[in-house]
Amino acid sequence: MISGYVAGAIPDYQMSSFLMACYFRGMSEEETLTFTRLMLHSGDVIDLADIPGVKVDKHSTGGVGDKVSLILAPIVAACGVPVPMISGRGLGHTGGTLDKLESIPGFRTSLSVPEYKNVIRDIGLVMIGQTEEIAPADRKMYALRDVTATVECIPLIAGSIMSKKLAEGSDALVLDVKTGRGAFMQSYNCSVELARTLVRIGNTFGKETVAFITDMNQPLGTTIGNWLEVVESVECLKGTRGTNDGSSDLMEVTHALAGSMLVLGKKATTISEGVRLSKEVIADGSAYRKFLQLIVAQGGDASVTENLERYPLSKHSIEVRIDEDGHVGEIDPLEIGLTSITLGAGRARVDEAIDPKAGIVLKKKVGDKTEIGEVVAVFYTDRDEVVESARTRLAKAFRVGPSPPEKRSRILGLIDNAGMSEWTPL
């Protein structure tokens, strides 16, 4: 059926029936593994055996303000672990790594397989989108899942993610499975089930796989929107942000994932040692230099990230203020993500163009003290007609209380082949 669908012999309406049956009935473990194997072998499997080192990738299930890959991949590559990364575009209220990278003028995310291999061989890092050769069944089926409301099905999600990751040529994989209001998988129990399924598939196929469960009940970092997220990423890579500021949670997740990738890549014996190495390559500038190498290798203009102020500005730059004293108790990430789409930072339709300048900068995070009339966010857009509605929606996304909420780690747990363990902040 899958090979027939790729060849065009099985029509969309029959595949839609299959997807709907999976959505309502689920799959057994054996069926999920078989489904993933067939999706994987619907196209080419890239061989990176001639590239030295243990190749390690990372995948996130998506969240609001999640620009971790832009910081993480250069860190890990700077530590000597090759990172072959195949990423996706924005989906729904969550942003996509490819859209963020393409906000850098000239950056190419569509490379041929030979180009993909050459870039990682040359600089130890590559970040592209899904090619025509990799898991074509997933590419075709995903579009159908989107229009048949069958996206949120754990076996189908797992098969989609792992067929691409198994095909890209990496040896090991670290997963960031988001949970909460701003994630696709809002239920904690469902997020854990998805993570366990992904880890089981990866290890069954001989790719050492671990998964972090991370909290997406507020945006990650301080920026939402493609170029804005590149700016925050550059500042974190330069070490000018990420310590005791609004990007601290972003770097907490990034360093933990980096530590785990370095363990899998045989450059560290423990995650804490890997975190130390991750922080060192930020401090000595080598992670940022690796990011510049990536931009140049994939056709981008590195002078723009070297001179961030040169980027064009949006027509509107609007401050959002609140009329309460207290502490920020919640920032609704779903409302923030949906508002960013109306500003032009995301797509309401698959064929809609993105404005790379558009987006939101948070001036307050959960736990911060606020005063009446204080600016909590600034948004950027070229769209005249959305200014007032966006101002109202963003103000309502902030909920203020009399006292600060309990501070908690963004990392809720770690799942490997042995099971789930609690996470102790490093």
Kindly state whether residues 331 and 209 are assigned to the same domain: no
Is 168 part of a structural domain of the chain? Answer: yes
Predicted local distance difference test score (pLDDT) of residue 148: 85
Does one domain contain both 248 and 375?
no
Whether residue 46 is found in the same domain as residue 170: yes
Q: ∠418-189-23 over CA atoms, to 5°?
A: 105
Residue 426 forms part of a structural domain: no
Minimal CA–CA distance to 329: which of 373, 361, 369, 374?
A: 369
Q: Which residues pair with 179 in a beta bridge?
A: 215
Residues 78 and 204 in one domain: yes
Contact 377, 329 (CB under 8 A): no
Strands 125-129 and 83-87: parallel
Do 224 and 360 meet the contact criterion of CB atoms below 8 Å apart? yes
Is position 76 within any domain? yes
> Which CATH number do you get for residue 43?
3.40.1030.10
Nearest CA to 241 out of 331, 362, 357 is that of 362
| 353, 243: one domain | no
CA atoms of 208 and 377, how far apart (whole Å) = 41
Point out the residues that are catalytic. Answer: 59, 138, 145, 160, 164
Q: Is 221 left (phi over 0), alpha (psi -120 to 50) or beta?
A: left
Number of separate domains in the chain: 2
State whether 250 and 201 are in the same domain: yes
Whether 406 maps to a domain, the answer reads: no
Q: What angle do CA 236, 237, 241 make, to 5 degrees?
A: 20
Q: Which domain holds residue 262?
A: 2-305+411-421
One-character DSSP codes across 119-140: HHHHHSEEEEEPPSSS-HHHHH
The kind and range of the H/E element at 191 are helix 188-204
State both tokens at 169: 């040529």
Q: Along the chain (426 residues), what's the average pLDDT of each consecutive run of 10 residues? A: 93 95 95 95 91 95 93 98 86 78 95 94 93 86 82 90 90 96 87 95 95 96 96 97 93 97 97 97 98 98 95 96 94 95 83 89 96 96 96 96 91 92 80
pTM of the complete model: 0.93
Under 8 Å between Cβ of 374 and 321 = yes
pLDDT for the residue numbered 342: 94
Residues 321 and 290 in one domain: no
- What tokens does 193 get? 């089930």
CA atoms within 13 A on the CB side of 66: 36
Give how far Cα 14 sits from Cα of 9, 34, 36, 351, Å.
10, 19, 19, 25
| 351 in the same domain as 224 | no
Could you tell me if residue 117 is inside a domain?
yes
Distances (CA, A) of 374 to 82, 161, 176, 221: 45, 42, 34, 20
Closest CA to 88 of 32, 172, 14, 151: 151
| Statement to judge: residues 278 and 339 lie in one domain | no
Q: 95 Cβ partners below 8 Å, 6+ apart?
A: 62, 64, 65, 66, 67, 224, 225, 226, 229, 337, 340, 345, 346
**Scanning the structure block, which residue is given the tokens 């971790």?**
68
Residue holding tokens 């671990």?
210
Residues 288 and 344 in one domain: no
| Distant-in-sequence, close-in-space partners of 197: CB < 8 Å, separation ≥ 6 | 32, 154, 155, 158
Q: List C-alpha distances in Å: 225 to 29, 222, 248, 259.
A: 37, 10, 18, 27
CATH of the domain at 337: 3.90.1170.30
**Radius of gyration of the CA atoms of the chain, in A:** 21
Do 242 and 330 share a domain, yes or no?
Answer: no
> Is 310 a domain residue?
no
pLDDT in tens, 3-44: 999 999 999 999 999 999 999 999 999 999 999 999 999 988
Angle between helices 188-204 and 154-167 (to 10 degrees): 40
Residue with tokens 């230099």: 289
* 340 close to 381: Cβ distance less than 8 angstroms: no
CA angle centred on 124, ends 122 and 128, rounded to 5°: 95
What's the confidence (pLDDT) of residue 217? Answer: 95
| Same domain flag for 62 and 108 | yes
* Residues 295-331 pLDDT 10s: 999 999 999 999 999 999 999 999 999 999 999 999 9
Q: Is residue 295 part of a domain?
A: yes
Q: What angle do CA 358, 60, 130 make, to 5 degrees?
A: 80
What whole-number distance in Å separates Cα of residue 19 and Cα of residue 220? 32
